[in-house]
A and B are shown apart, each in its own frame.
Chain A
């Protein structure tokens, strides 16, 4: 019997601000379960979530959907990308807007949104601007401000973009995480489009700055912060600070794991994730 995974991939055309985007997504789990959109980290794509998509316990109650943002993975850029006068820079407005437009295009009813790194940071913006459209946020490796990563070296004609994007994030993973998964994550990072990782990091290190704003979130949407102790870009202390300032939040610090929990060590991450998902299920019964 062949080992065939339950993941199914499809494309959907999403219109946002007058532009059509062909977006790729993979899904698995209970088609009638709570919809949960998973957001990948900067410069890579939804493959990071393959273990959670295949997890039977998660799939029992959730329709889990991993989407590739435009310009990432199998989601092509808008057709006129090559004529743009400025290099690609992700902003919080576009990021949160395209995610919610994607949700609307699939007809999802107030999905849970779980994102890591920049996908974690965008959760704060979603809580601010779309609190009526989401039911819970799982902000993995998220904080109020994450400086230092928007570097021109990451899109430089004299430098191998794939190798350098992948190698510059490798140390964000914990040494305890299995080599096979750490190097799989490296592989994903080596495959981003030119300048995309750098452009995402514009959001991560510049455009996203919630210092002094987190306290103003209403608390209507619960936010579950989850950060690994080996994350040197968003340290546990940085996440704890964000959580202290967030009403209706919970902070979970994960031992022996780093910045890419879902892909670098899915067994450990899922053990931390299950109780969070159980709470979301209980709250939605």
Chain B
């Protein structure tokens, strides 16, 4: 599901989103999304997804990684996601542990509103 074509459609949905233009004004960060065994680094710049990198190499840098089984991301992306999968925190809460966070979590907290708004656009893909 989360192949290059899907990533491109999500990138377009984020970049075309009206509120993201002001919610994401200060979002500039490199975030790794782990969809099961597949890693993609998403490069946000001023609230736009400037590019994404799905061929990670020794020069690929990122500040924060969010890793979950692909099945969990698929449920998150459903139009009406089921309980415990409708939100990043729902999946990441220690009670549930479906999503793991690694790296500089301050990046997430500083940009939470814009990042979560961008993730919600996954349901439009």
Contact = CB atoms under 8 A, between A and B. Distances in A.
Interface in A175-234: 175-176, 229-230, 232-233
Given A168-B89, A229-B83, A159 B110 contact: yes
A25 interface: no
Contacts of B83: 174, 229-230, 232
A166 B110 CA distance: 13
Contacts, number: 60
Nearest to A238: B95
Of the listed residues B80, B81, B93, the one surrounded by the most CB atoms of chain A closer than 10 A to its CB is B93
B61 interface: no
B45 to A, nearest CB: 20
B39 interface: no
Contacts of A166: 113
A86 B113 CA distance: 29
A158 B80 contact: no
A153 B113 contact: no
B54 interface: no
B16 to A, nearest CB: 20
B105 interface: yes
Main secondary structure of the interface of A (DSSP, over half): loop
Interface size bracket, B side: 20 to 34
B86 A171 contact: yes
A156 interface: yes
B87 A170 contact: yes
Interface in B75-125: 80-81, 83-84, 86-90, 93-96, 105-106, 109-110, 112-113, 116
A232 B116 contact: no
Interface of A: 147-148, 153, 156, 158-160, 163-164, 166-168, 170-172, 174-176, 229-230, 232-233, 235
